[in-house]
Amino acid sequence: MKNIELLKAYKVKKIVTSCPHCFNTIKNEYPQFDGEFEVVHHTQLIAELLKQGRIKPTSMGDGKVTYHDSCYLGRHNDIYEPPRQILNNISQSRLLEMERSGRNGFCCGGGGGRYWMEERIGKRISEMRIEHVVETGADVVATACPYCLQMFEDAIKAKEVEESLKALDIAELLAAQLDKGATE
Protein backbone atom coordinates (compact mmCIF):
# COMPACT_ATOMS: atom_id res chain seq x y z
CA MET A 1 0.00 0.00 0.00
CA LYS A 2 2.86 2.37 0.84
CA ASN A 3 4.53 1.66 -2.51
CA ILE A 4 1.30 2.41 -4.33
CA GLU A 5 0.79 5.62 -2.36
CA LEU A 6 4.33 6.74 -3.18
CA LEU A 7 4.03 5.92 -6.87
CA LYS A 8 0.72 7.79 -7.06
CA ALA A 9 2.20 10.79 -5.20
CA TYR A 10 4.82 11.04 -7.97
CA LYS A 11 2.08 10.58 -10.60
CA VAL A 12 3.76 7.48 -12.02
CA LYS A 13 1.90 6.14 -15.04
CA LYS A 14 4.32 3.61 -16.51
CA ILE A 15 6.80 1.28 -14.80
CA VAL A 16 9.56 -0.64 -16.60
CA THR A 17 10.89 -3.66 -14.72
CA SER A 18 13.91 -5.86 -15.32
CA CYS A 19 12.58 -8.49 -12.93
CA PRO A 20 9.71 -10.78 -13.98
CA HIS A 21 8.71 -11.21 -10.33
CA CYS A 22 8.32 -7.44 -9.90
CA PHE A 23 6.54 -7.26 -13.27
CA ASN A 24 4.04 -9.87 -12.10
CA THR A 25 3.47 -8.24 -8.70
CA ILE A 26 3.00 -4.69 -9.98
CA LYS A 27 0.93 -5.71 -13.01
CA ASN A 28 -1.26 -8.39 -11.47
CA GLU A 29 -1.37 -7.76 -7.72
CA TYR A 30 -1.12 -3.98 -7.26
CA PRO A 31 -4.48 -3.39 -9.01
CA GLN A 32 -6.18 -5.24 -6.14
CA PHE A 33 -4.99 -2.37 -3.93
CA ASP A 34 -5.90 0.44 -6.35
CA GLY A 35 -2.43 0.45 -7.93
CA GLU A 36 -3.24 0.79 -11.62
CA PHE A 37 -0.06 1.36 -13.66
CA GLU A 38 1.11 0.45 -17.13
CA VAL A 39 3.78 -2.18 -16.51
CA VAL A 40 6.34 -3.18 -19.12
CA HIS A 41 9.13 -5.72 -18.87
CA HIS A 42 12.46 -4.49 -20.21
CA THR A 43 12.41 -7.09 -23.00
CA GLN A 44 9.10 -5.68 -24.24
CA LEU A 45 10.54 -2.16 -24.26
CA ILE A 46 13.77 -3.21 -25.99
CA ALA A 47 11.91 -5.25 -28.62
CA GLU A 48 9.70 -2.24 -29.38
CA LEU A 49 12.70 0.11 -29.64
CA LEU A 50 14.39 -2.32 -32.06
CA LYS A 51 11.20 -2.60 -34.12
CA GLN A 52 10.96 1.20 -34.35
CA GLY A 53 14.63 1.45 -35.35
CA ARG A 54 15.36 3.67 -32.35
CA ILE A 55 18.26 1.43 -31.32
CA LYS A 56 20.49 -0.23 -33.88
CA PRO A 57 22.83 -2.86 -32.50
CA THR A 58 25.58 -4.52 -34.48
CA SER A 59 25.43 -8.27 -34.91
CA MET A 60 27.20 -10.41 -32.35
CA GLY A 61 28.29 -12.66 -35.18
CA ASP A 62 27.56 -16.32 -35.16
CA GLY A 63 27.91 -16.97 -31.44
CA LYS A 64 25.46 -19.63 -30.37
CA VAL A 65 22.74 -18.47 -27.98
CA THR A 66 19.90 -20.21 -26.20
CA TYR A 67 17.18 -18.49 -24.21
CA HIS A 68 15.74 -19.55 -20.87
CA ASP A 69 12.08 -18.57 -20.29
CA SER A 70 11.72 -17.46 -16.69
CA CYS A 71 8.59 -18.75 -14.98
CA TYR A 72 7.13 -15.34 -14.13
CA LEU A 73 7.74 -13.82 -17.55
CA GLY A 74 6.64 -16.84 -19.55
CA ARG A 75 4.16 -19.16 -17.94
CA HIS A 76 2.72 -16.59 -15.52
CA ASN A 77 2.48 -13.65 -17.95
CA ASP A 78 2.64 -15.23 -21.42
CA ILE A 79 5.62 -13.15 -22.61
CA TYR A 80 7.66 -15.34 -24.94
CA GLU A 81 8.31 -13.43 -28.16
CA PRO A 82 9.97 -10.11 -27.16
CA PRO A 83 13.11 -11.81 -25.75
CA ARG A 84 13.40 -13.98 -28.85
CA GLN A 85 12.92 -10.97 -31.13
CA ILE A 86 15.82 -9.22 -29.41
CA LEU A 87 18.12 -12.24 -29.66
CA ASN A 88 17.22 -12.86 -33.30
CA ASN A 89 17.96 -9.18 -33.96
CA ILE A 90 21.51 -9.33 -32.59
CA SER A 91 22.62 -12.87 -33.47
CA GLN A 92 23.45 -14.08 -36.97
CA SER A 93 22.95 -17.64 -35.79
CA ARG A 94 19.59 -19.22 -35.29
CA LEU A 95 18.43 -19.11 -31.68
CA LEU A 96 19.02 -22.56 -30.23
CA GLU A 97 15.87 -23.58 -28.38
CA MET A 98 16.15 -26.01 -25.50
CA GLU A 99 13.85 -29.03 -25.58
CA ARG A 100 11.90 -27.54 -22.67
CA SER A 101 11.22 -23.95 -23.68
CA GLY A 102 8.33 -21.56 -24.17
CA ARG A 103 5.11 -22.75 -22.58
CA ASN A 104 6.86 -26.04 -21.82
CA GLY A 105 9.76 -24.28 -20.04
CA PHE A 106 11.71 -25.56 -17.07
CA CYS A 107 12.38 -23.63 -13.86
CA CYS A 108 15.88 -22.27 -13.16
CA GLY A 109 15.68 -23.69 -9.66
CA GLY A 110 15.22 -20.35 -7.89
CA GLY A 111 11.44 -20.51 -7.53
CA GLY A 112 9.62 -21.02 -4.28
CA GLY A 113 12.38 -19.40 -2.25
CA ARG A 114 14.95 -21.94 -3.42
CA TYR A 115 17.11 -19.01 -4.52
CA TRP A 116 18.11 -18.60 -0.88
CA MET A 117 18.34 -22.28 0.04
CA GLU A 118 21.09 -24.87 -0.26
CA GLU A 119 19.80 -28.16 -1.57
CA ARG A 120 21.68 -31.11 -0.16
CA ILE A 121 19.56 -34.02 -1.37
CA GLY A 122 19.30 -35.00 -5.01
CA LYS A 123 20.31 -32.91 -8.01
CA ARG A 124 20.01 -29.12 -8.04
CA ILE A 125 17.38 -27.90 -10.50
CA SER A 126 19.70 -25.13 -11.73
CA GLU A 127 22.34 -27.72 -12.59
CA MET A 128 19.78 -29.81 -14.47
CA ARG A 129 18.79 -26.69 -16.42
CA ILE A 130 22.42 -25.94 -17.27
CA GLU A 131 22.69 -29.50 -18.58
CA HIS A 132 19.77 -28.64 -20.91
CA VAL A 133 21.69 -25.54 -22.02
CA VAL A 134 24.89 -27.53 -22.66
CA GLU A 135 22.91 -30.01 -24.80
CA THR A 136 22.10 -27.17 -27.24
CA GLY A 137 25.77 -26.41 -27.88
CA ALA A 138 25.21 -22.74 -26.99
CA ASP A 139 28.04 -20.44 -25.88
CA VAL A 140 25.59 -18.18 -24.02
CA VAL A 141 22.41 -18.79 -22.07
CA ALA A 142 20.41 -15.58 -22.16
CA THR A 143 17.74 -14.81 -19.63
CA ALA A 144 15.56 -11.86 -18.68
CA CYS A 145 15.42 -12.44 -14.92
CA PRO A 146 18.04 -11.56 -12.29
CA TYR A 147 17.14 -14.63 -10.22
CA CYS A 148 17.58 -16.99 -13.17
CA LEU A 149 20.85 -15.28 -14.04
CA GLN A 150 22.26 -15.86 -10.55
CA MET A 151 21.08 -19.47 -10.50
CA PHE A 152 22.80 -20.09 -13.85
CA GLU A 153 26.04 -18.37 -12.87
CA ASP A 154 26.26 -20.64 -9.82
CA ALA A 155 25.31 -23.77 -11.79
CA ILE A 156 27.87 -23.02 -14.51
CA LYS A 157 30.58 -22.93 -11.83
CA ALA A 158 29.26 -26.09 -10.17
CA LYS A 159 29.23 -27.94 -13.51
CA GLU A 160 32.70 -26.51 -14.31
CA VAL A 161 31.75 -25.17 -17.75
CA GLU A 162 32.86 -21.55 -17.20
CA GLU A 163 35.30 -21.74 -20.13
CA SER A 164 32.62 -22.69 -22.65
CA LEU A 165 29.39 -21.15 -21.34
CA LYS A 166 28.33 -17.73 -20.07
CA ALA A 167 25.02 -16.63 -18.56
CA LEU A 168 23.93 -13.10 -19.49
CA ASP A 169 20.83 -10.96 -19.28
CA ILE A 170 19.44 -10.07 -22.70
CA ALA A 171 20.05 -6.39 -21.92
CA GLU A 172 23.76 -7.17 -21.33
CA LEU A 173 24.01 -8.91 -24.70
CA LEU A 174 22.31 -6.00 -26.43
CA ALA A 175 24.45 -3.41 -24.61
CA ALA A 176 27.62 -5.14 -25.79
CA GLN A 177 26.39 -4.87 -29.38
CA LEU A 178 25.49 -1.21 -28.95
CA ASP A 179 28.94 -0.47 -27.46
CA LYS A 180 30.60 -2.38 -30.28
CA GLY A 181 28.73 -0.32 -32.88
CA ALA A 182 29.82 2.92 -31.19
CA THR A 183 33.50 1.98 -31.40
CA GLU A 184 33.51 0.66 -34.96
pLDDT for residue 128 is more than 70: yes
| Domain boundaries along the sequence of the chain | 2-48, 58-183
Whole-structure pTM value: 0.89
pLDDT at 61: 78
pLDDT for residue 58 is more than 80: yes
Q: Closest Cα partner for 144 from 74, 56, 62?
A: 74
Residue 130, burial from CB neighbour count under 10 angstroms (0-12, 13-18, 19+): buried
Contact criterion met (CB below 8 Å) for 95 and 87: yes
CATH class of 58-183: alpha beta
Taking residues 93-107, report their average pLDDT: 89
DSSP string, the chain: -HHHHHHHHTT--EEEES-HHHHHIIIIIGGGGT---EEEEHHHHHHHHHHTTS--PPP-TT--EEE---TTTTTTT---HHHHHHHHHH-SSPP---SS-GGG----S-GGGGGG----SS--HHHHHHHHHHHHT-SEEEES-HHHHHHHHHHHHHTT-TTT-EEEEHHHHHHHHHHHHHH-
pLDDT at 14: 98
Give the N- to C-terminal CA distance of the chain in Å, as an integer.
Answer: 48
> Which residues, other chains included, contact 140 with Cβ-Cβ below 8 Å and sequence gap of 6+?
63, 64, 65, 66, 165, 166, 167, 168, 173
Using one digit for the tens of pLDDT, what is the confidence trace for 69-99?
999 999 999 999 999 999 998 887 778 999 9
Please state, in angstroms and rounded to a whole number, the distance separating the CA atoms of residues 46 and 119.
35
Please state, in angstroms and rounded to a whole number, the distance separating the CA atoms of residues 12 and 79.
23
